[in-house]
Chain A
Amino acid sequence: MEKQKYLLEMHGITKEFSGVKALKGVDFCVRPGTVHALMGENGAGKSTLMKCLFGIYRKDGGEIWLKGQKVDFKSPHEALMNGISMVHQELEQVRDRNVMENVWLGRFPLKGGLVDTRRMVEDTKRVLASLGEDVSIDPRERLSNLTVSKRQMVDIAKAVSYNCDIITLDEPTSSLTEKEVDILMKIIEGLKAQGKGIIYISHKMEEIFRVADDITVMRDGELVSTDRASDMDMDLVIKRMVGRELTDRFPSKDWEPGKPILEVKHFEDAKHHLHDISFQLREGEVLGIAGLLGAGRTELLETIFGARKRERGELILRGKELRNRSTEEAIHNGFALCTEERRFNGIFPDLSITFNTVIANIRGYTNRIGWLRISKMEENTKKMIDAIRTKTPDTKTKIRHLSGGNQQKVIIGRWLLNDPDIFLMDDPTRGIDVGAKYEIYQLIFNLAAKKKGIIVCSSEMPELLGICDRILVMSGGHISGEYDLREAPEHATQENIMRDATKFV
C-alpha cells in the first residue's frame, strides 16, 4: 500500500455560529512524525478548528481524512477511540484520584468482573516509560500531589495509551518551568520518532521555532499560510498573525525612573515560601521578577498585597511604614494586584463588565447614606473601556463572553480606576495573543510614565527583558540575582538569569 503523505487532512472546513462565519474553508494537514504548529491570535479560529476535529462542534462543511479514511466524529470520545487526542491547556483530570485511574478511566482492565489493579499499575508504568527516562511518576500517586508538568505528562501518557496518531497540545508550556519545558520537548521528540503527528498550539514564538516542523497561521477564521518552519521567521509569523507590520513586540520607553517609592525589607511569609526578601522600587520603574514555578514570585506579590500573612519584615511606601494585613487595607494604601490565574481569582465570570470593573473600589461609589451611585459606575466603566480599548458589545455583557486579552484589560482597568501607587502584576499576559500583549505593555508603560511603581512577574523571559528597567531573579524563595537593564543590559542574558533561577532549587 502506498504510504500516506499525511496522517490527518482537513479540507475546506467551514463553521458558522448564528450567522457569524468562524471558519471560512480552512485546510490543515499533519505529516506523520512531525510537529505542526497552529498559530493565530485569540479568536482567529484555532480552537474552533480543533473542536470541529474532535467532534465537539459539528462542522458545516468540508472533509476530514484520517490515514486515508474519511471521518466525521460526533464526540470527543469517538475521536479519542479513533486515535485523536487533546491535551488541554487547563488539564481536565480527576485530581482526587491517582495517576493510573486517570489514564485508564472509562476502560479499566477487568479480571473476573473486578478492576485488575496489578495490571493497571504495570500498564501505566509501561506507558509512562515509553515517554522517556525523564518521566518518573508513581502510578499510585494522587494527581493533586503532582506538579502541573507531571500532570501534563500523565495526560500525554493517556493519549499514548490510546495509541493516538494525532496528539494536540494546547498551550502546553503555559505553566511549566524552563527545565520542565526541556523534558516536554524530549517527550515530543520521542513521539515524533514513533511517527505520531503533533498539533502544537502556542503563543510563544521561541518555543514554536524550537519544536515545530510546519507552521500554519490563521487569522479571522481563514487560513493565512502553511509553511515549513525553516522557511519562516518570528517577524513573518507575527506579521501574518496580526495582518499588519509589527515593527516591535514591545512599545518604546521614553522616561527615566525617579526616586525610590517602595521599600521591602526582610520579608518572610508565615508559610516559609519567602526568605529574607529585600528590594527597592522607584517611581516610574518597571521591576521584573523572574524565576521558575514555585520560586515564590506569586507568594511575594501576595504578601505585599496582604493576601498572604507576613511573618516578618517591613513594607515602606514613600517613607511610611505599612502593615497591609488584608487586601482591603492594601487597596486603601494604594496597592493593586492583577492576579496570575484570571479564572481562579481575577474575574467574576457571570457578572457584567461594569460589576467586574467597579468591584475593587465599590465603596468609592456610595453617597452619604450608603446608597450606590449606579450612573457613576456606568460612567466610569465606559470611560475605562474607551481608555484601554476593551472590545465588548456593551457594559452589561458578562465578562466570560470576552476573549482572554479583553478580560485582562477589564481587570487592569478595574485597578486603574483605583489610581494605585504600586501596581503588582502576576503574569499579566498569560494566554493572551500578541496584539493584546502589546497593548497591555503599553498600559504598563503609561503607568510608569505617571510615576507609579510597577512590579511584573512573568515566566516569559523575553517579555521581562523587553519591558523591565530592572529584573530580580527569585529562586527557592530567595532573591538570587539582580539585573539592571538600563545600566548594564549586556549582563541580562537568558542564560545568566536561568543560572540564578536555579541557584536554590
Chain B
Amino acid sequence: MAKENIKSRDKIIDLLYDNALYVIIGVMLLVIIAMEPSFVRLSNFTTILTQSATKIIYACGVAGIIVLGGTDLALGREVGLAAVVAASLLQAVDYSQRVFTPQQVPALPLILPILLVALLLALISGIHGFIVAHWGVAPFIASLGIQLISYGACLQYFNQVCNSNPLSGFDKFYSRFCQGTVKIGGLSLSYLMFYALIVVALMWIVWNRTTLGKNMFAIGGNKEAAKVCGVNVKRTMILIYIIAGVLYAFGGVLEAGRTGSANSTMGADYAMDAIAACVVGGVSMKGGTGTLPGVVIGVIIFQIISYGLIYVGVSPDLQYVVKGLIIVVAVVLDNRKTMRKAD
C-alpha cells in the first residue's frame, strides 16, 4: 500500500519535471494576467502568433541543421541579406525614394524577387553545408564565417546599391501579401500565420515522411552508423542546409514586408533567438532528436514572454535576463530528464 503511494508520488514528480517548463511559463503568464487582466484578449494572441510566424519559418530551417548535430549562427544575417535584396526590388513604382528607377527595375511580380533571394540563400547555405559536410569544418566555426560573409554582402549591397537609405514604400501587393488578414467570425487572422502553417506542414512531411528526413535524424543520431547504413551523409547534409537557406529567404522577405521596411541591421539577433527557441522546444544540441511542434511551441513561448513583458511594462533590458533564464532552465530540465531515463 505504502509502496503504491510512493510510486504514484514519483509519477507526479516525473510528470512535473517533464513539463516543468510549461508549468513555469504558465505561472509567468498567470502573473502577467494578474498584473494586467486586459492581456487576455484574442487580439493579443493573434498579434503574438503573427509576430511568431516569420520566426517559426526560419526556426524550422535551423532546426534541421541542429538535428544534424550542427548549428547556424549565420541565420540572422542571411535573413537580413534576403530581406534587403528583396525589399530593394519590391518598392512601389511611384515611390519617390525608390532605389532603382522604373527603367532599371520595373514593377516585378512578387514571385520573382522571392525566387531570386531563395536561390541566393540556397547557394550560400549550400556552400555552407558543403564546407561542413565535405571538409569537416566544425559547424559553429563554419557558420561564424558564413555569418560574416553574409553580413558583409548585405552591408555592401545596402551601402553601395541602396545608398544606405532604409528601404520602405513597398509595392501594394507585397505589403498586402505580408500584412493582410482574413476575418473568420470575430477573429482576424493574418496571412503570415497561414504561411507559417504551410511551411511547418511541409517541413513535418520532410522530417517524418521522407528518406531525407530519416537520414537527417540518422546522421544526427550517429554519423558513423549512418555511413555504414548506406546513408549518403554529404548529400543529406547539404540538402538540409539548402532547405534552411530557402526558409531563411522566405522568412526574410515576409519579415521585411510585415514591418514595412528593411535595412542592413536587420537580423542581428535572429540566429540566437531561433536556436534558443529550438532548444526550448526540445531540439537537442547533441543532434538526432527534436520535433517540429516543439520548435513552434518554442518560438511562441518566447514571443508570449517578450510580448507579455512589454505589456506589463517590464523594461526591454530585463527581458534579455528572463529569456536567458528560460534557455538555461530548459536545458537543465532536459538534461535531468535524459539523465534520469538513462539510469
Contact = CB atoms under 8 A, between A and B. Distances in A.
Interface of A: 17-19, 305, 307, 326-328, 330-332, 337, 339, 344-351, 355, 359-360, 362-363, 366, 370-372, 374, 400-401, 414
17 contacts: A307-B227, A328-B231, A344-B224, A345-B224, A346-B225, A347-B225, A348-B218, A350-B288, A351-B218, A355-B214, A355-B221, A362-B211, A362-B215, A363-B211, A366-B210, A370-B211, A400-B342
A19 B3 contact: yes
A344 B225 CA distance: 7
Contact of B211 (A17, A331, A349, A366): A366
A345 B211 contact: no
B170 interface: no
A378 B84 CA distance: 47
Interface in B185-242: 205, 208-211, 214-215, 217-218, 221-222, 224-232
B10 interface: yes
Contacts of A18: 7, 10
Contact of B209 (A331, A371, A401): A371
Contacts of A350: 221, 288-289
B333 to A, nearest CB: 17
B91 to A, nearest CB: 39
B343 interface: yes
Nearest to A17: B343
Nearest to A363: B211
Contacts of B222: 345, 347-349
B214 A327 contact: no
State the main secondary structure of chain B at its contact with A.
helix
Interface in B8-29: 10
Contact of A372 (B10, B209, B221): B209
Contacts of B214: 355, 359, 362, 372
Interface in B151-171: none
Which 8 A-B residue pairings sit nearest by Cβ, starting from the closest? A345-B224, A348-B221, A360-B229, A331-B230, A328-B230, A327-B230, A348-B222, A345-B225
Interface of B: 3, 7, 10, 205, 208-211, 214-215, 217-218, 221-222, 224-232, 288-289, 341-343
Nearest to B206: A370
Contacts of A17: 343
Contacts of A327: 227-230
A372 B225 contact: no
Chain A CB count within 10 A is highest, among B7, B224, B225, for: B225
B225 A19 contact: no
Nearest to A341: B224
Given A328-B230, A351-B221, 19 more contacts: A327-B230, A337-B228, A345-B228, A348-B225, A349-B222, A350-B221, A351-B218, A351-B288, A355-B221, A359-B218, A359-B229, A359-B231, A360-B228, A360-B229, A362-B214, A366-B210, A366-B211, A371-B205, A372-B214
Contacts of A305: 228
